[in-house]
A = this chain, B = another copy of it.
Amino acid sequence: MRIFIVGFGCVGQSFAKLLREQSAALYREHAITPRIVGVADSRGAAVSERGLDPQELVDLKDRGSSVADHPDYGVRATDHGRLIRESDADLLVEASPSRMDAPAGAIDNIKAALSSGMHVVTVNKAPLAVAMPALIELAEYNRVALRFSGTVGGGTPMLRMAQVSALGDEVVRIRGILNGTTNYILSKMHETGADFDAVLAEAVELGYAESDPSADIDGIDAATKVVILANVVLNQRATLSDVAVEGIRGMERSRIEDAAKQGMVLKLIGEVGEELRVEPQLVPRGDALDVSKNLNALSVTLRSSGDITLIGRGAGGVETATAILRDMLDIWQTVGE
C-alpha cells in the first residue's frame, strides 16, 4: 500500500512512526507492506516512489525544517493537489490542521485524490464540515473509500460504534460530549467555582486549549462532529450551516451554581436527531454523559436496545494516528488485495 501524507504535524508524524513500529505486525497479521511515497507540509514536499524513511522525515521536522529540505527527495512545490495527482499512491492521508475558516485547500486535496482513484483517510474535519455530502458522492462515484474515524472521538471508535449499533436496530437520537476542551473548562468551573476566563487561561497554559480557542469554546468543533455523525449514522446530507450552535464563551458562574443546586452538571452537548444542535444543557450528575476532565462521550439512543454510551479520550496525536491506521486496515480488509 503506497501512502501520501498531507500535513506533517503531530498527527502526521505519529502516524508515520506508528507505521514503522507496526511494520512487522502489519505484514504478519494483514499481509500489508505500507510505503510512504510522499509527504507534504506547508512549505513543500518529499516524494519518492521507492518509499521514504519516516525517521528521516521526523528528524527534519524536529530540526525545524520542512520535509521539502529532504536532501534526496525534497521538492519546493506547494501545489498539493498537483503533487497528489502526479503520485502513484493508493491512499491519501489528509492530516493537516482543521482550519474551519479556510477549508478549501483540504477539500482540493481530497477531491484530487478521490478523482485519481485513491482512497482517502482524513482526520481534518474542516473539509467534511462544509462539503461532506459532495465528498461522499465523489468517493462513491470513483468507487474508492473515504474514511474519517479520527475526526470524532480521536482514538475512541465512536463513529464505528454508532454505525454498528444501527445495524439491526434504529437510531432515534445521538447526544454527545464531542469536545474535550470545553468539557475540561466546564468540569473545572463546577469543581473549583472559578470564573470562565480564569479556567480558560489555565487550560491554554496547560495545553488543554489552543492559544486561539474560538473553534472550541464557540462550539464550532463540536458542530463539525455533529455534521459528520448526521451524515454517517443518520444518512442526513447535512453541512455546518444546518447546525444551530451555541458555545460556552463567557459562561456565567451563576449558571454552573444553579445547575449544581439541582444535582445537575452543565455540559456542552452535541445533538443529532430531527434537529442538529450544539448547546449547553443540564445533565444529571452521575449520568453516562457526566464524564470528567477532557474526556469525550457519545450516547446513541436505539429503538430496541435503549441507550448505548461510549466514553474515551477524544484527541491526542498518537490516539488520532491509531484511528488513521484503523481506517487504513479497514479499507484494506474491505476493498484491498
Residues of A within 8 A of B (CB): 18, 22, 154-157, 160-161, 164-165, 167-169, 286, 288, 290-292, 302, 304-313, 316, 318-319, 321-326, 328-330
Given contacts A161-B161, A326-B164, contact A319 B292 (CB under 8 A): no
- Cα A161 to Cα B160 with chains together (Å): 8
Residues of B within 8 A of A323 (CB): 168
Q: Chain B's nearest CB lies how many Å from the CB of A104?
A: 30
Residues of B within 8 A of A310 (CB): 161, 308-311
Given contacts A157-B164, A161-B161, A167-B330, contact A312 B322 (CB under 8 A): no
> Could you say which of B18, B292, B311, B316 contacts A311, with CB atoms under 8 Å apart?
B311
Q: Chain B's nearest CB lies how many Å from the CB of A310?
A: 5
Of the candidates A160, A161, A290, the one having the most CB atoms from chain B within 10 angstroms of its own CB is: A161
> Could you say which of B164, B168, B307, B322 contacts A305, with CB atoms under 8 Å apart?
B322
> Could you say which of B286, B304, B309 contacts A286, with CB atoms under 8 Å apart?
B286
Given contacts A164-B157, A168-B322, A326-B164, contact A312 B308 (CB under 8 A): yes
Q: Chain B's nearest CB lies how many Å from the CB of A324?
A: 8
Q: Chain B's nearest CB lies how many Å from the CB of A147?
A: 12
Does the CB pair A322–B308 fall under 8 Å? no
> Could you say which of B18, B156, B168, B307 contacts A326, with CB atoms under 8 Å apart?
B168
Given contacts A329-B167, A329-B168, contact A306 B312 (CB under 8 A): yes
